[in-house]
Chains A and B, each alone.
Chain A
């Protein structure tokens, strides 16, 4: 029996080796190296000091957080209204819309950036139309990035909200009306409290999704717009002036912001549960 167990365990060895080599060890190495200075190779908190004191790096963090917050808040709020509207249509229309959403959720990264460049770039179709009415639009700014980010956040938000809306039991409404509740009271007392946890959960997923997004931002701006993800890319894999340890420290900051977002989400939910319940 002991021998059988050993033999079974041997089957797991390739998986354990690959997992350690490609995920575990690189992650540990990333954390360790973020505490070593690139120029001298000595142990220090220099990288973190640099990130938070030099505007060039700290702006990348605030830009990323702002862009992710804005695009995830817009994505979640639009998503919740649009999903509600979708569930009010006939089943056939719903299925067709879900197909479109599925197709557009593949549409991210480089191809998406390209489509927005021909749509809204300097000689883009809509940019030209706007020029006729004397409106200037620049895709490679903050507003442009939010517009592109919302494009890939919205389908994800709808996909996450759709099963939640389908989970609303028609009997809740009937029960509420039988007990004399108005439509308004039914929404405020039953539907909204039911939706709130999913709303914050979706917001957190979208935030993490935007914080980690690299391909879209890189293809759109070529790294000229200062973001955490594109900055990490330039520091670790550029042709010139790579500072891998500083890049690791920034990657650690990125991971931390996502963990903090998750933590805030849990805190908010805990507080809400106490207030509602």
Chain B
């Protein structure tokens, strides 16, 4: 392919980039515009929408609620999944295939199906809705956490290290805390960040199961959308900013790990 023929490729890619960036860019401009309703260009620029967003106690509360819900769910996921994955791959290797297909199942399961099953099962029993959402969050991030833990377990030669430790007389707990954990810490961190960003954008399950009774940041955004477009766009921009930082950290830690293993 000669150099002169490259312009069609640049044209296609530029069109793609425009299609992807324009909605983002317009949201950014809208969040900075004093007023932008009947004209093509905004009439002036301001930061007051961001100020209003941070002064709004319902926004701060939604943010805190989101963080609490995610952090508690993630802590349970890590506490439960970590020993499970380790025990299955160390002591029940024959179950590993079955376990893997079970754990990866939610990848293909839409949130709407999970939500209707949960509501169907627990609506007649008095189970706190928040626990249901936490359980649903568990299922949503389970495949990602599993992949992260399993890959880092297999990336170091764990079984020979454990054998060596057993020969030296270490017990199960000692092996778990001083050999397994330090070696897979980074893998867990990366999959936790990924899970965090997925849960941060979760709307379907939260809205269907608890809805307005526990207003997370996504539900807050959905409500404020009908009230003020400018504050909503400030929320969207802040939300994307947080997610970009998370992706940046994920890429940073993933590359760091690769370089170390080479």
Which A residues fall within an 8 A CB radius of B?
5, 8, 11-12, 14-15, 18-19, 21-23, 25-27, 29-30, 33, 81-82, 85-86, 88-89, 93, 97, 100-104, 106-112, 114-119, 123, 125, 128-129, 132, 151, 154-155, 208, 211-215, 218-219, 229, 232-233, 235-237, 244-245, 247-248, 251, 254-255, 258
A102 near B247 (CB under 8 angstroms)?
Answer: yes
Contact A85 B13 (CB under 8 A): yes
Contact of B102 among A19, A100, A102, A211 (CB under 8 A): A19
Would A26 and B240 count as touching, CB distance under 8 A?
no
Instruction: Report which residue of B84, B106, B247 has the largest number of chain A beta carbons within 10 angstroms of its beta carbon.
Output: B84
Contact A30–B23 (Cβ < 8 Å): no
Query: When the two chains form their complex, are residues B20 and A237 in contact, meaning their CB atoms are under 8 A apart?
Result: no
Question: Residue of B at shortest CB range from A19?
Answer: B102
Q: How far is the CA of A154 from the CA of B222 in the complex (A)?
A: 24
Complex interface: chain B residues within 8 A of A251 (CB): 112-113, 116-117
Tell me if A's interface is mostly helix, strand, loop or mixed. helix
Interchain Cβ contacts within 8 Å, total number: 213
Partner among A25, A33, A101, A258 whose Cβ is within 8 Å of the Cβ of B20:
A101
In the complex, chain A residues whose CB is within 8 Å of the CB of B232: 114
Q: A30-B121, A110-B218 are in contact. List 13 more A-B contacts (CB 8 A).
A: A14-B84, A15-B84, A19-B102, A106-B201, A106-B247, A110-B203, A118-B30, A214-B203, A219-B203, A229-B112, A235-B116, A236-B120, A237-B211
Query: 5 A–B contact pairs at CB < 8 A?
Result: A88-B9, A89-B6, A114-B27, A119-B26, A244-B123
Rounded to whole angstroms, the CA-CA distance of A86 and B11 in the bound complex is 11
Interface of B is mostly: helix
Which A residue's beta carbon lies closest to that of B81? A15
Residues facing A in B229-246 (CB within 8 A) are: 229, 232-233, 236, 239-240, 243-244
Contact of B38 among A107, A108, A123, A244 (CB under 8 A): A123
Chain B residues near A151 (CB, 8 Å)? 19-20, 23
- Identify which of B19, B24, B110, B229 gathers the most chain A CB atoms within 10 Å of its CB: B110
**How near does chain A come to B96, taking the closest CB pair, in angstroms?**
12
Q: How many residues of B contact A (CB 8 A)?
A: 75
Q: Is B114 within 8 A of A29, CB to CB?
A: no
The smallest C-beta distance from B2 to any residue of chain A, in angstroms, reads 12
Task: Determine which of B30, B38, B105 lies in contact with A128 in the assembled complex, contact meaning CB atoms within 8 Å.
Answer: B38
The 8 Å CB contact of A14, one of B39, B80, B88, is: B80
Check: B119 CB closer than 8 A to any chain A CB.
yes
Chain A residues with Cβ below 8 Å from B201 are 106, 108-109, 111
Q: Which residues of B contact A30 (CB under 8 A)?
A: 113, 116-117, 120-121
Contact A29 B120 (CB under 8 A): yes
Distance of A128 Cα from B19 Cα, bound (Å) = 18
- For B190, list chain A residues within 8 Å (CB): none
Residues of A within 8 A of B121 (CB): 25-26, 29-30
Report the bound CA distance from A25 to B118 in whole Å. Answer: 9
| Complex alpha-carbon distance, A97 and B21, angstroms | 11
